[in-house]
Amino acid sequence: MTLLGVLEGLVGALLLFFVPGYAVAKALFPEWRVRGPQGGRRLLEIVTLSFVMSVGLTVVVGFGILDLVPGGFAAAWSDPVLEAVLAAITAVALVAAFFRGAFARTPPTGLSVAEGKGEEGAWELSRELERLGRDERRLQHALRVSSANPAESARLTVELDSVRAERDALRRQREEEYVT
Residue 49 lies in a domain: yes
Whether residue 32 is contained in a domain is answered as yes
Residues 74-92 have pLDDT tens digits of 555 566 778 888 899 999 9
φ, ψ of residue 79 to 5 degrees: the values are -140, 75
- Rounded to whole angstroms, the Cα distance separating 131 from 26 reads 43
- Identify the domain containing residue 82 by its residue range: 3-99
CA 17, distance to chain mean position in Å, is: 21
Q: Do 125 and 159 sit in the same domain of this protein?
A: yes
SS3 162: helix
Shared domain for 90 and 164, answered yes or no, is no
* 91-144 tens-digit pLDDT: 999 999 999 988 887 777 765 545 554 455 777 888 888 999 999 999 888 888
Model-wide pTM > 0.95: no
Q: What angle do CA 68, 69, 75 make, to 5 degrees?
A: 115
